[in-house]
Chain A
């Protein structure tokens, strides 16, 4: 492994090699010392690996006796690379995956690996790459983003600081110039990205431990009907307040009412918000608008009775109709 990284006539900091191989600099120094004693018969000075360690660097003063090209991936390494690329949305049909595995391994068909190991993800590889590259080079990006739980697409310019993967879902943590604050965006809700070419001064943000910190967020009090399991994994930071025969009372941190309203509504009546009022209202509105949408889809022609639904819901429904082209669908028999 090390030999393939040692280019004749170069001087390489031990820390670079250590970082690449994931070991300490002293371990690299020790391995290099050993390597300098390896070679081919008759093991005269010209037949040994031509290097010496001096201080914090290694000097490669001649050509390797052999193995002077990069060695292909072992099957385990190819599997690791394919699994990692899958996790970023690049499956076996991705051109980069095909090219990498074809050139660097014996595995002619990346699909073979995919049929045995699968790391699913919802990320679009192009979006992921753009945001990762922008984070690395401190470049602002214009994104079109669908806010959680709503149909609204907003344009924002963000300064990406870090990428995070939680349970297979990718997020980008960024300073949002539109909001004037740090925000975490789900990458699978980014509809479009455009690099701006504007560079920003990276702030003191380091890679945070988790994508969804819940400290400091407002909390909704939600009652779950008897027998309903507390969705601990779906509701980050959820806390049980009380539990008895009449059900479970929980506190749920939420960043926006759109997300929590949709979560509560998805329990189809088995979850009920006690407070605050803004979340109760959001749930009520969401349920009403989803009912309208369901009715629209089932009915071939507009039903006058639907007009009895609250005016706010109707206007929201109209907005979404015009933006999504539902009106055209409704005209079909």
Chain B
């Protein structure tokens, strides 16, 4: 009895060695591993699953108009990838550290990706990562499930406990995931409330992807969806009205601006300064953020936020006089 993995390898080798398209019957006849005496329908189901499995591993198996199959070599094999030593080092430095981080949801796929693009190499970059710090294993597993559902455009249901402590079931079309300050978040469309919402992965329980009709999708992600639009800084959350703010970076700290702003808003040079034009909802939190990330940062507008910073700092000075 040939096991499933052996059959898959034989099928992959057969398709790769074939000089042209092959029929399902040829596969059945020439690939060791398909049970003898298996009825036609069972064989075709097994063959379909095997093709999907191999496609999932990167093999581009195509069906020809006459119902046969071929491996598209151009789309299957790596070409033109010649990494310079410094690229190799950069790749490994960036990626190897995440292989052992339980909160990184793609560690298994990452390991295979590294093996494919970089081959065998020692993995001794001395590093460790804890991308998410609260229940990292649980967040990593849940994020992996949600990412798979998002990629397959399949709905998920889960029980969500909000910040007020209330738990309720949700059915969501998962659009994307982002990591922010040690927590994974899901952005998706709640099918009951009919609106896009952001959910903290750590607050989810009983996550169940829709496994019905696995070969079809449940929804279409909006074409203009970009998960980064949902990543907010602390002062961008809350019930307040959205307002425009300007934060100035002094010349000595402009080099920190890209990292601190994380791509939010717009950085515009003004004289020797760099002005960060960004939207906010909470003036007090904006003032707190600017002070916490100083020195060299100052709120330019709106005046309410400047006043909050000034009166707050005066209070700090008084309290510590």
Contact = CB atoms under 8 A, between A and B. Distances in A.
Contacts of B231: 118, 120
B75 A106 contact: yes
Choose among A105, A106, A266, A280 the residue with the greatest number of B CB atoms under 10 Å from its CB: A266
Interface string A286-306: 111111011101100000000
B116 A37 contact: no
Contacts of A207: 126-128
A288 B258 CA distance: 27
A76 B109 contact: yes
Interface in A257-308: 262-269, 272-273, 280-281, 283-284, 286-291, 293-295, 297-298
Nearest to A117: B177
Contacts of B260: 122, 188
Interface string B174-217: 01111111100000000000000000000000000000000000
A104 B256 CA distance: 33
Nearest to A31: B5
Question: Majority SS of interface residues in chain B?
Answer: helix
A132 B147 CA distance: 29
Contact of A151 (B109, B253, B317): B253
Contacts of A106: 60, 75
B130 A166 contact: yes
A59 interface: no
Given A34-B3, A76-B106, A291-B310, A104 B117 contact: yes
Interface residues of B, number: 126
Interface stretch (A63-71, A176-184, A241-249): A63-71
Interface in B291-307: 291-292, 294-296, 298-300, 306
Given A83-B106, A163-B125, A328-B272, A5 B119 contact: yes
- Highest count of chain B CB atoms <10 Å: which of A38, A125, A291: A38
Interface in B85-129: 86-87, 89-95, 97-99, 101, 104, 106-117, 119-129
A164 B129 contact: yes
Contacts of A80: 106-110, 113
A133 B316 contact: no
A88 to B, nearest CB: 3
Nearest to A266: B292
A187 to B, nearest CB: 9
Given A265-B291, A265-B313, A287-B316, A115 B176 contact: yes
A34 B131 CA distance: 37
B313 to A, nearest CB: 5
A39 B10 contact: yes
A297 B116 contact: no
A103 B97 contact: no
B210 to A, nearest CB: 18
A72 B133 CA distance: 33
A324 interface: yes
Interface in B222-259: 225-228, 231, 248, 250-253, 255-256, 258-259
Interface residues on A, range: 35 or more
Interface stretch (B36-44, B51-59, B62-70): B51-59
A312 interface: no
Interface in A11-49: 12, 16-17, 19-22, 31, 34-35, 37-41, 43, 49
B291 A21 contact: no
Given A120-B179, A167-B181, A268-B315, A162 B58 contact: no
Nearest to B180: A120
A42 to B, nearest CB: 9
B259 A124 contact: yes
Contacts of A129: 86, 89-90, 93-94
A110 to B, nearest CB: 13
Nearest to B115: A20
Contact of B125 (A17, A132, A272): A132
B313 A40 contact: no
B6 interface: yes
Given A77-B58, A136-B89, A262-B294, A87 B94 contact: yes
Given A151-B252, A280-B320, A284-B320, A79 B133 contact: no
B259 A67 contact: no
B151 interface: yes
B168 interface: no
Given A76-B106, A287-B313, 8 more contacts: A1-B112, A1-B115, A38-B10, A40-B10, A116-B175, A265-B291, A267-B288, A325-B250
24 contacts: A40-B30, A41-B14, A67-B13, A72-B77, A72-B78, A72-B116, A76-B106, A83-B110, A100-B81, A115-B176, A116-B221, A116-B227, A122-B259, A125-B90, A151-B295, A162-B126, A163-B97, A165-B101, A165-B127, A165-B129, A165-B131, A265-B316, A268-B315, A325-B252
